[in-house]
Amino acid sequence: MKIELEHLTKTFPGRGRKEQAGVTAVNDFSCQIPDGELIALLGPSGCGKSTTLNLICGLETPSAGKILFGGEDVTSLAPELRGVGMVFQNYALYPNMTVRQNIMFPLENKKKKERLPKEEMEKRVMDTARLVQIEELMERKPKELSGGQQQRVAIARALVKMPKVLLLDEPLSNLDARLRLKTREEIRKIQKQTGITTVFVTHDQDEAMSISDRIAVMNQGALMQAGRPQEVYDNPVNLFVAKFLGTPPINVFEGVVKDQTLYIGSEAVLSVKGVGDQPVWAGVRPEGFIPQENGPLGCRLNRVEIMGRDVSIISGHDACAGQDIRSIISAENHVDTGSDTVRFALKPNKVFLFHKETEERIPFASN
């Protein structure tokens, strides 16, 4: 089911006796989620992504804006009437019930007349359990399960109602690193099998980029950019998005554009056509550096980390706001580790310019 969010805003009232201004958790959020896709709401903690999820779910009502499911306005509909399934961060499995009872619970909530016959319910529960591969665990209590298994039970409980939309709140944050990799593949697989439109919230950009069809990057309640992961990575609209995506993170230099050329420090490092003279932030992806003996950008060489497949050069530069510059180059390149400086040429498509104040992207043409 296609989900459309139109100018969604959520303001929580201020606390305390004084008439304090409310907190705007979600601010004018508009986004379209095509049918059957997996979309990640990505952002730092406190950016409003969980509130957005709760708004889609119906646990919160928006202060303004509309939510449409398949063209139908569901803004004021109660959660159970929207046909959504939700998986909570800590899974919220009822501790006193077995796995079977937990999965059965949503089906038993309906009034006697609307309820499915008992055999049908049993069958649905078993089908869903098979989908997430927990058939052998049906008689256990949640506390007798590992984190990954609890996660699957939670997904099964959300799926058993055959929702049109599946919502996952930080689904992997309670799992250890190895399990996280495995589980995210499984979530992707289940989503593909069922074809349910799925929204999941995460602060881990790795997670978001690897399994989702689309990502929506949020900051301070506002949608920064939405699109296919690679598009967003290759074309960040502002400095925040550029910094948030990518591991290791993008390297940001203070630079100046003069005569259509980017200067970092006193060195002219790149020709940037179509940009007026101004101070800028220059972001360079770690893979955007080419070590060259007489490259235009000179950095202090701190150390070299060999990682087998590639090499990571950690260096410093006065224009780089006191932080290390991390560049990743292929292991075939020879770097003179004895020298105390290293010189780079830059790949133009891995360099982004941002406005000094607004931090918005400044497009440029290279050559």
Partner 1 sequence: MSGNNKKAWLYLLPALLFLIIFMVYPLIDVLIYSMEEGFNFASQTYFGVGLYNYSYVLHDPYFLQAVQNTFILVIITVPVSTGLALLISLGLSSIRPLRSLYQTIYFLPYVTNTLAVGLVFMILFQRTEYTDGLVNLMLSWFGAGPVDFIDGPYWAKMFVLCFYTIWVVMPFKILVLTSALASVNPDYYKAARVDGTPRLRVFARITLPAISPMLFYLIITGFIGAFKAYSDAVALFGTDLNAAGMNTIVGYVYDMLYGDSGGYPSYASAAAIILFAIVLTITCVNLLVSRKKVQY
97 near partner 1, rule: CB under 8 A: yes
Cα–Cα distance list, 355 to 86, 165, 278, 281 (Å): 40, 39, 8, 6
Site for partner 1 in 157-186 (CB under 8 A): 157, 161
Question: Which is closer to partner 1, CB of 80 or CB of 135?
Answer: 80
Question: Which is closer to partner 1, CB of 89 or CB of 210?
Answer: 89
Helix, strand or coil, per DSSP, at residue 188: helix
Least gap, CB of 187 to partner 1 (angstroms):
18
Helix, strand or coil, per DSSP, at residue 318: coil
Least gap, CB of 183 to partner 1 (angstroms):
19
* Side-chain-facing half-sphere of 43: CA atoms under 13 Å: 26
Residue 277 sits at φ, ψ, to 5 deg, of -65, 125
β-partners of residue 299 are 342
Residues 6+ apart with CB under 8 A from 366: 270, 271, 272, 273, 348, 349
**Segment contacting partner 1 (CB under 8 A): 92-100, 183-191, 283-291, 298-306?**
92-100
12 near partner 1, rule: CB under 8 A: no
Question: Which is closer to partner 1, CB of 53 or CB of 217?
Answer: 53
**Segment contacting partner 1 (CB under 8 A): 22-30, 61-69, 101-109, 318-326?**
101-109
Site for partner 1 in 51-90 (CB under 8 A): 57-59, 78-81, 84-86, 88-90
Torsion angle of C-alpha atoms 122, 123, 124, 129, degrees rounded to 10: 90
115 near partner 1, rule: CB under 8 A: no
Cα–Cα distance list, 321 to 26, 242, 324 (Å): 31, 16, 9
Least gap, CB of 31 to partner 1 (angstroms):
21
Least gap, CB of 202 to partner 1 (angstroms):
18
Where along the sequence are the contacts to partner 1 (CB under 8 A)? 57-59, 78-81, 84-86, 88-90, 92, 94-97, 105-106, 109-110, 157, 161
